[in-house]
């Protein structure tokens, strides 16, 4: 049975993370967005990619600072991810304050990271690849750590949030 091409892509399960960038000290120049189109791409060096629509404020910050962090979050942050980081624009909202989460400094890059994230992966931008209507930002992983927050992680599958136990 044939299915529409775009609907078929919904069957590929994705992580659901928050990609953050900017200056943690400056509420007007820090931000983050919910992202599902995120993947590892190389073992050595360890590379990841996030595919970002050109109009995202987070992409503007990534281009300015040349760094970003992937915040892997647990179910405690589901509402923050969906209602704030995945919906509002960082151009006119400090999403960290709005979501009631901490914006703390990353360890090796100048990006805010979410204090309540379960795992943080810090990246330096290696390259951008224009791909259709999105920009694939490829980053080299240079630091990673766990916060101690436990709980099922968020996944995005067939248009809704699901949990990874």
Ligand X SMILES: Cc1cc2nc3c(=O)[nH]c(=O)nc-3n(C[C@H](O)[C@H](O)[C@H](O)COP(=O)(O)O)c2cc1C
The answer to whether 142 contacts ligand X (rule: CB under 6 A) is: no
Distance CA 154, CA 131 (A): 26
The answer to whether 24 contacts ligand X (rule: CB under 6 A) is: no
Residue among 41, 53, 129, 131 that touches ligand X (CB under 6 A): 53
Residue among 49, 52, 73, 109 that touches ligand X (CB under 6 A): 52
Two tokens, residue 62: 């990534």
Exposed / middle / buried, residue 98 (Cβ in 10 Å: 0-12, 13-18, 19+): middle
Closest by Cα among 76, 75, 73 to 32:
73
Write down the least CB distance from residue 135 to ligand X, Å. Answer: 8
Please give the size of the binding site for ligand X, defined by CB under 6 A.
20
Two tokens, residue 76: 């405690």
**Contact region with ligand X (CB under 6 A), list: 33-41, 66-74, 115-123, 143-151:** 33-41
Which parts of 12-152 are beta strand (E)?
14-15, 17-22, 30-35, 38-42, 47-52, 67-72, 103-105, 112-114, 119-131, 134-146
Residue among 33, 49, 73, 114 that touches ligand X (CB under 6 A): 33
The answer to whether 22 contacts ligand X (rule: CB under 6 A) is: no
Site residues (vs ligand X, CB under 6 A) = 16, 31, 33-37, 51-53, 56-58, 82, 86-90, 156
């Amino acid at each position: 049975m044939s299915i529409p091409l775009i609907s078929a892509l919904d069957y590929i399960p994705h992580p659901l993370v928050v990609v953050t960038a900017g200056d943690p000290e400056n509420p007007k120049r820090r931000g983050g967005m919910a992202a599902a189109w995120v993947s590892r791409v190389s073992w050595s060096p360890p590379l990841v990619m996030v595919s970002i629509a050109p109009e995202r404020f987070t992409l503007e910050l990534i281009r300015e600072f040349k760094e970003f962090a992937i915040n892997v979050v647990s179910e405690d942050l589901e509402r923050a991810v969906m209602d704030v980081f995945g919906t509002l624009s960082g151009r006119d909202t400090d999403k960290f304050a709005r979501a009631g989460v901490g914006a703390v400094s990353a360890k090796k890059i100048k990006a805010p990271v979410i204090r309540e994230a379960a795992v943080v992966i810090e990246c330096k931008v290696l390259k951008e690849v224009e791909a259709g209507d999105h920009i694939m930002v490829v980053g080299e992983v240079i630091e990673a750590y766990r916060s101690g927050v436990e709980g099922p992680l968020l996944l995005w599958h067939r248009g809704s949030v699901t949990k990874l136990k």
